[in-house]
Amino acid sequence: MSTRSVLVFASADELAAFFTDKLIKAMASLKAGQYFSLLLSGGSTPRMVYEYLSRNQNSIPWQRLQLFWGDERCVPPDQDESNYKMVKNSLLDHVPIPSDNIFRIKGESDPQTEAVRYAETLSNQVPSKNGLPCFDLVMLGLGDDGHTASLFPNDTKNLFSEGLFEVAAHPESGQRRVTATLQLINNARTIVFLVTGKSKAGMLARILGKSGENYPAPMWENYPAALVEAKNGEVIWLVDQDAAPGYKVGLTI
């Protein structure tokens, strides 16, 4: 059964500290020979968390962590728009993670071919549950328009895809992306949304106000992040006070 909780922090740093602690505790229950599979996100709040992890890296067993990406912009890995480059600069360059544990989406490849290749990579690397790869932990950001990963509003083809990865186009720039599908994300054990800043407040309030079963599904296609639910565990929203001005710090909603 899926559960959802929302935790409000006074600052992005406290939010990042909580995430780091959660990762360490979750990795502590790994059995011998097991890896911990983490699906990474692009975006400004996830980047702050990567920077925090780099500064507080000592308690993390990097050899046991496998990193995957939930979405990638279709650009080469050395371009500033690349999510791989963002994670490399903020995290990978600073921590002792073996290169064999890093599974990037090749933004420089043909997107359709890459979506298929990456889905195969995941299927080979990540243990499955319900016939689908089941990530130990998925990190997600929230776009001001309600998108998450590169699942954009009203992109029903990708939102309800039965595949693992698809090709999407950014609704304004048209930039192509390779993105995890909702069914892959929702099959994770734990899903953590990382949301900070005033610009997110309106969308966050709308999404957290969702009461679920009473709403007809089509309405929620406008807000892909509202369709995220962990079929095998929990969704945790880590938000700062700027993004959740109506809520008290320390509150679990």
Smaller CB separation from ligand 6PG, 147 or 176: 147
Coil vs helix vs strand at 33 = coil
Compute φ and ψ for 54, nearest 5 degrees: -65, -40
165 and 181 in contact (C-beta within 8 Å)? yes
Smaller CB separation from ligand 6PG, 12 or 65: 12
Candidates 141-149, 160-168, 211-219, 233-241: pick the segment binding ligand 6PG (CB under 6 A): 141-149
Residue 149 lies near ligand 6PG (rule: CB under 6 A):
yes
Name residues contacting ligand 6PG, limited to 48-87 (CB under 6 A). 71, 83
Residue 41 lies near ligand 6PG (rule: CB under 6 A):
yes
Selected from 12, 37, 39, 42, the binder of ligand 6PG by CB under 6 A is 42
Helix (H) or strand (E) holding 103: strand 102-103
Tell me which residue of 104, 121, 185, 102 sits closest to 148, measured CA to CA: 185
Size of the site for ligand 6PG (CB under 6 A): 13
132 and 187 in contact (C-beta within 8 Å)? yes
Residue 111 lies near ligand 6PG (rule: CB under 6 A):
no
Selected from 4, 22, 35, 44, the binder of ligand 6PG by CB under 6 A is 44
Residue 141 lies near ligand 6PG (rule: CB under 6 A):
yes
Rounded CA-CA distance 22/249 in Å is 19
Q: Name the residue with the smallest CB distance to ligand 6PG.
A: 141
Least Å distance between CB 32 and ligand 6PG?
33
Smaller CB separation from ligand 6PG, 37 or 196: 196
Residue 43 lies near ligand 6PG (rule: CB under 6 A):
yes
187 and 133 in contact (C-beta within 8 Å)? yes
Tell me which residue of 126, 248, 244 sits closest to 188, measured CA to CA: 126
The residues near 217 (Cβ < 8 Å, ≥ 6 apart) are none
Kindly tell me the number of DSSP H helices and DSSP E strands found in the chain.
8, 12
Site residues for ligand 6PG per CB under 6 A:
41-45, 71, 83, 141-143, 147-149
